[in-house]
Structure formats: C-alpha cells, structure tokens
Structure 1
Amino acid sequence: MLGRTANGLFWMFRYLERAENTARLLDAALRMALTRDLVTAEAEWRSVIATLGLQAPYEAANEGYDGASVWNFVLRGPSNPGNVRAMFGAVRSNARMARINISSDVWEAVNDNWMKLDKLLARPVGQTAVGEVLGAIRRAGTQVHGAFDGSMLRDEGYHFSRAGTFIERADSTARILDMKYFLLLPSLSYVGSSLDTGQWEQVLRSVAGARVYSWLNAGQIEARGIVDFLVLDDRFPRSLAFCRNALRDNLSALARMHAREGRCNALMHEADARINHLTVDQIFDQGLHEFLVDFLSRNAAISQAIAEDYRFHA
C-alpha cells in the first residue's frame, strides 16, 4: 500500500473520531450548563475550550464564554481551522484519497453524512438546534464505523484505519480526564476530598461512559473509581487500557503483513512496560496529571513513528 494511501486512511479515522469526541464533549457541557447557575455554566464552557486547546484563538475572536459562542466556535467558527465542519471535510477528503481502498458502504456513509453536516453547519447554530446538530455528528461517527466494521476487508487499510481511531480516542480520553481533574481538584491534596458529583458525571458523559460506569459501581460516583475505569479497565472501549491494547494488536498485524517490526512497535512495547500491572493507587501516588502527560507524549510519539515507519509522506 502506498504511504499516501495509508496516511489518508489513518487520518480519515483520526478526524472522524475527533469530530465525534468533540460533539460528546459539547453535549456533556450543554447538559451541565442547563442545570447550573451562570457562573458555573461559564466555567463549564471555558473548560471545553481549554480541553480542546483553543483558548488563544477563541479569546481573540470572542469576548466571553457563553454557550452559543463556544459551540459555534468549536463547530463552525471561521477563526478556528480545526472546527468540526472542517474536520468532517477532512474525513471526506481523506476518504476520497483512499477511495479504492474503502468499500462503497463506507464511502456512502462518509459522503452522505458530510453533505448533511455541511448543510447543518452552514449557518450559526442556535439554542434550539444545537442538540440536533450534536446528535447528527455522533450518528455520523456511528454510521461510518458500522459500515467500516461490516464491509471492510481485514487488510492493511483496515489496520491503518483502526490505528488512527485508537490513537485519537486515547488522546481524547486522556485530555478530558486531565483537564477535568484539574478543574475539580485544583489543589495538590490526595484524592478523597468532597467533589462535585455532577461534574464527575459530566466527565463520564464526555466519553459515553456514564451508564456503564454507574452499572459497574452501583451508582457510586467518586474520583478514584472513575480514574480506574477510564485508565485501567480494558473492558470499556474508550479507556486508555482498551485503546492501548487495540492499538498494539493493529500495529502487530501490520508488522506481520510487512514481515518486520518498526519503531512504532518498539515504542508500543515501551508503553506497555510503563503501564502493565499499574494500579490506581500507584497512578495517584506519582500524580494523575504527570501520568497523563507521559501517556499523551508516548501516544504522540507512537503516532509519529507510524508515519515514519510506513512512509506516510513518501
């Protein structure tokens, strides 16, 4: 497979995952803002922009942190080149680049949803429409992933696509957990203080994990359990452990197909050694923020190594 094609598939699914994760983050913030006072709601919208790393461009274009300004900036803002409308345009562009390597079902799911979302985001999104728009973005991700799982040959293209998905998903979960942890527990004290249950539920909603976490933990919401769930529980498909395992499997499959392991496989082995047998107590002892920063750095290094090993830009 040509490096440019592998690059197209890898980034097609990174952008798809990023768009869906962004919609979930906005949806969770919207739920929280609607049930809190204006000061808390503003802090919630501010945290969305901080989690996405968009403080500077947002503040250059907007005076305050009201909901409509935030979601329009994130979804379609012209001064935000990484807005969701542009993300889904990148999904379609990469799908077109790799057209002969994806099924007709996948192309139709991408193209149909791109046309729908482009129309929905062509004008400012108001309070009455934002829920519909966020739902359409989440459904777009579900439909493309469903078409992909149900119609794609398990060849190189499949594994590059899945690698992109899990690199991006792990990055999103780690960033949401890190940012929310700082907002919820700004002091350096050990976890155990009284925390805002509603905010922790919002963390879980941001990664589509509120219902399953509640089921597993008899409805008890507390920081230690949430970190254990989102970092170490390899049963949950958006946890760091699940993403790490899935990424390792897809990189191993690519190595077998190419009859060699690359630097990305070596970095994956190092990441495994760093996390294997780690407990939630050990994570808090070393510092959750420090652990997540290290995880994000290793995740980014693996992504870069994939591009180099398979000559994405050759």
Structure 2
Amino acid sequence: MLSRTADHLFWMARYTERAENTARMLDVTVQTAMLPQSDADTEHSWQAVLGISELQNAYADKYQAVTPREVIDFMVRDPCNPSSITACLREARENARAVRGTLTTEVWEIQNQTWLDMQKHLRNGLLEHDPSKFFDWVKYRSHLSRGVTVGTMLKDEAINFIRLGTFLERADNTARILDVKFHADAAQGERDFYYWAALLRSVSGFEIYRKVYRDVITPARVAELLMLRADMPRSLLACMEEVVTNLRSVRNDLSVDTERFAGKLHADLQFARIDDILRVGLHDTLTEFLARVYELGNRVSRDFLVPLAA
C-alpha cells in the first residue's frame, strides 16, 4: 500500500476517535456539574477537560475565565482549537475524501454525512439547547463509522492502518483521562461514588466495573480496569493488543524495531500488577506510557506513513 494512502486511513481513524473521546469527556463533565458542588470544584472539573488535551494555554490566550459555556464552545467548534470536535470531524472527512477509492461507499458516506449533519446541528442550536444530546450524536456517529468499517471493508492492509490509528488514539486518551482525573481533588464522602462513576462512564466502563468487581468503586480498581484488563475494550492493555496485532499484519523490512518497541510496551502492561504501579506512582507510570505511545506513533509514521514534520 502507498504510504500516503496508509497515512490518510490512519489519520481518518485517529481524528474520528479523537472527536468521540472529546465528546465523552465533555458529556461526563456536563453531567457531573449538575451534582451539588462548590464553584471552585466546578471550575476545576472544566480545567481538567482542558488539561486532558493539553489545551490550557491555547484556551487562556482567548478567554479570560474558565466557564462551562466557553470551554464547550472551545472544545466543540472554536477555529483556534485544532483538536475541537469540528476540526477533528472535518479532518476525518478530508482524509476519507482523499482515499475514497480505498474505502467502501458506506464508509465514505458515513464520514461525509457526519460532517454535513454536524454543521446542521451547530446551526440549529442543538449544542446550546441539549449538549448531552449533541455529544451522544457524536459518539453514535463514531460507533457507526467503526461498525460500518469492520462490516464492509476487505480485511486487508487498509483496515489494519485504520485500526492502528483508532487504538493508538484510544490508548493515548485513556491514559490522559486517568492521569488528570487521579490528580483532581475529588471531595471525600458521598461525592466519591459519583466522581469515580463519572470517570468510568467517560470510557463506557461503569457497567463493566460492576460486572467485574461487584463491589464499591475504588480508585485502585478503576486504575486496574482501565490499564490492565485485556477484556475491557478501552483499557491500555486492550488497545496495545490491537496495536501489536495490526502492526504484525502490515510489517515491512523497516518495522522490526517498531514491532519490538510496541511488543515491549504491551508486555509491560500484560505482566504488570496494579499494586506495583501504585507503589511506583500512577502519574509517573502514565507519563512514561504517554511518552512511549507518542514515540510509537512517530515510529509508525516513519516506517509506514508520511513522516511527521519535525
């Protein structure tokens, strides 16, 4: 496969996943903001949304204060934010358009219609009137895109690069959510349940947690579920298993070191224990993981795609 074609497929998937992850974060923050809490706690929650995406400085350059309305606007449609939902869905559509001949008609139509419908929703005020409904729509369109891709695409290198992009992006986002949320100053007592439940819901993990642990929600178990459980679809380990599998399917003469790098990252998660991670420090572990995932993305670009600009 031509490297430019693989590059477009890879980034189409990453941008689609990124839009969904942003919608998940915003939706959970909107929901938890309705719980009884101080103004300081509310502001801290919205600051965490910016922190997860490393957008505090970009936001501060344009806005004077952190308010729900302005954070949502910045994260959804602000042209100054290249990671906004609007920017991500636009880039996903443009990458899909560039490789229409590689995609099935259904996959292209999903990407194109998502972009057109989003502009309509933003014009008719859905975001302002019912933000949760808008975020659910973004998540639904991402689910639809993945389902149609798996259900209609030939099982060849094209789908391998699409899934590489999806799971590298998902691993990065799950790690960022864990890192920021575990550093947030959650109130003690009754609010703890709602705080950790919201974190789990942001990665569709609340029902899974109940099924796996059948007990009270604790930070250590949340970390274990989202890092080390291979059967949790959005866990770091599950994402790395997909990355390793798809890398193996597209290997070339240049990718031996990249496969080894990904395999080491996967093995470190596969054989880790949450007690050891907490003893070393969750923040340090996640910071190292994010750095390694970033390096892995660069290696994939070097070996298979259009290299990232220096």
TM-score by length of 1: 0.92
Paired position in structure 2 for 1:118: 119
Paired position in structure 1 for 2:79: 78
- Asked if 1 retains the 8 angstrom alpha-carbon contact of 2:186 and 2:195, the reply is no
CA drift of 1:127 comes to: 4.1
**Corresponding residue SS for 1:40:** helix
Gaps of 5+ in 1: 187-192
Identity of aligned residues (%): 32
Does residue 1:19 correspond to 2:30, yes or no?
A: no
Gaps of 5+ in 2: none
Paired position in structure 2 for 1:254: 250
Paired position in structure 2 for 1:10: 10
Q: Distance in 1 between matches of 2:295 and 2:98?
A: 25
1:116-162 deviation per Cα after TM superposition (whole angstroms, max 9, x unaligned): 01222357765423122111111110111111010011111110110
Paired position in structure 1 for 2:205: 209
CA drift of 1:78 comes to: 2.4
CA RMSD of aligned residues (A): 2.2
Q: Distance in 2 between matches of 1:83 and 1:169?
A: 16
* Among 181, 192, 197, the residue aligned to 1:196: 192
CA drift of 1:234 comes to: 0.4
- Asked if 1 retains the 8 angstrom alpha-carbon contact of 2:196 and 2:219, the reply is yes
- Asked if 1 retains the 8 angstrom alpha-carbon contact of 2:228 and 2:270, the reply is no
Name the amino acid aligned to 2:294.
Answer: A
- Asked if 1 retains the 8 angstrom alpha-carbon contact of 2:227 and 2:269, the reply is no
CA drift of 1:52 comes to: 1.4
Choose 101-110 or 269-278, whichever is displaced more.
269-278
Residues 227-242 of structure 1: pairs in structure 2 closer than 5 A: 227-242=223-238
- Asked if 2 retains the 8 angstrom alpha-carbon contact of 1:10 and 1:160, the reply is yes
Paired position in structure 2 for 1:283: 277
Name the amino acid aligned to 1:213.
Answer: Y
Does residue 1:30 correspond to 2:30, yes or no?
A: yes
Paired position in structure 1 for 2:143: 142
**Corresponding residue SS for 2:129:** coil
1:11-69 deviation per Cα after TM superposition (whole angstroms, max 9, x unaligned): 00000000000000001101100113333222211111111111111122222222111
1:204-237 deviation per Cα after TM superposition (whole angstroms, max 9, x unaligned): 1111111211222224110111111000000011
Residues 146-157 of structure 1: pairs in structure 2 closer than 5 A: 146-157=147-158
Residue correspondences, number: 307
Q: Distance in 2 between matches of 1:214 and 1:174?
A: 21
**Corresponding residue SS for 1:53:** coil
